[in-house]
Structure 1
Amino acid sequence: MTPPTSRTWAKRGHTPVIRVRGRSQRRYSVAALCCYKPGERSRLIYRPQRHTDHKRGGRKSFAWTEYRDLLIAAHQQLGGPIVLIWDNLNVHKDARMRAFIDTHDWITACHLPPYAPDLNPVEGIWSVLRRTTQANTAFTDPDHLLRALRHGLRQLQYRSDIIDGCLTETGLKLTTPRLKAQ
């Protein structure tokens, strides 16, 4: 739980020190989707996950099943087909995830080139969080971190201008024509 520091200060000639309580062995992951549709407000759909048994050989991140469940929830919430633009995370390329995507006609997946976080709008969301609600905070425990994270993401959900800005920053454009109802 090293605090994300954006600014600090100390007397001239003294190195600033940020004291943090002991490190926690608990681990959290967050998956998020930036959702864009021409003519509608942009949306952010996210899921935090607490990993409690990673010390005993359990997972330290999302499994393909959690990503699958997130996509199903997003499809139900958005009420339409989904075109995924994914980075090259190994779980995104998992054979079981590929089989799931191939069996559902409402989802299409495209992968970004390797090492291209500047093309991923969700990276902009993480940057905004680190600079706003997470900045200059020494979290007292893992639950404090999760509460602050959820609060920051909830605030961003209602700021479609910021979500739009994350897409604009990538240089990508919405050029997919509207799909015709069948």
Structure 2
Amino acid sequence: MFFDESGVSLLPQVRRTYAPRGRTPTLRHRLNWKRASTAAALGDHAADTGRGARLCFHLRPGSYDTEALIDVLTQVKTFYQGERVVLVRDGLSAHRSRAMRAWAAGQDWLTLERLPAYAPELNPVEMLWSSIKTRELANLAGDHLADVGDAAEGGINRIFQDERLAWSFLAHTGLKIPPTPHN
């Protein structure tokens, strides 16, 4: 399972768009710096690789710290219902903190692996963020964080509905995931 976090805010993700000739599109927003953070885990079903990709999503106001990430990983444990999980994550300081290492050491279901530094192209969740930010969040000037959160959740639902899209994020990395032996 690949894991990553990203931020979204009330400041719109300005993207190129079309408009009738002579009418330059104008994006009006309140210049509000309120932020929310999203976390996602993308992987496959270890017990049944033919079932398609698994996608977990979490949204919260503010940013993630070690305690918040431990809460998210506790929810991931419930989502995977007793399966063993290899969590591949980046070098975020909250992932490497003493508290995270101590918590992970007590989890028999979880194995942590770290991506190389400066290698976001190896994490398929980065493609997920790119897809959402260039489609659902593009030019979105919401008044409340809930507007941005709803749009991000809509993007997750869009990606989840097309299982080929989630697998394409995994394929784009060029990494080969070997089948897991079953006991």
TM-score per shorter chain, which class? 0.7 to 0.9
Q: How far 1:17 sits from its partner (Å)?
A: 5.9
Correspondence for 2:12 among 3, 6, 22: 3
* Alignment map for 1:29-40 (pairs within 5 Å): 29-37=37-45, 38-40=49-51
Structure 2 residues not aligned, in runs of 5+: 1-9
CA contact (8 A) 1:2 1:20 kept: no
Q: How far 1:179 sits from its partner (Å)?
A: 4.2
Correspondence for 2:74 among 72, 90, 115: 72
Q: How far 1:174 sits from its partner (Å)?
A: 1.1
Does 2:34 match 1:26?
A: yes
CA contact (8 A) 2:38 2:59 kept: yes
**Counting strand residues as a fraction of each chain, which structure ranks higher?**
2
Q: How far 1:16 sits from its partner (Å)?
A: 4.9
Letter in 2 for 1:47: H
Correspondence for 1:44 among 42, 55, 62: 55
CA contact (8 A) 1:27 1:50 kept: yes
> Paired residue for 1:167?
170
Q: How far 1:131 sits from its partner (Å)?
A: 2.2
Q: How far 1:176 sits from its partner (Å)?
A: 4.9
Q: Distance in 2 between matches of 1:18 and 1:131?
A: 18
Structure 1 residues not aligned, in runs of 5+: 52-60
Deviations 1:45-65 (A, max 9, x none): 0110013xxxxxxxxx11212
Deviations 1:116-169 (A, max 9, x none): 000001001001112222223332332211111112112223332111111100
Higher CA-based Rg: 1
Does 2:133 match 1:125?
A: no
TM-score normalised to the size of structure 1?
0.83
Q: Distance in 2 between matches of 1:32 and 1:88?
A: 15
SS of 2:93's equivalent in the other structure is coil
Q: How far 1:94 sits from its partner (Å)?
A: 1.1
Runs of 4+ in 1 over 4 A off after TM superposition: 9-12, 14-17
Q: Distance in 1 between matches of 2:127 and 2:96?
A: 22
Q: Distance in 1 between matches of 2:139 and 2:155?
A: 14
Q: Distance in 2 between matches of 1:9 and 1:40?
A: 39
Identity across aligned pairs (percent)? 28
SS of 1:113's equivalent in the other structure is coil
> Paired residue for 1:55?
none
Size of the alignment, in residue pairs?
170
Q: Distance in 2 between matches of 1:170 and 1:22?
A: 37
Letter in 1 for 2:139: N
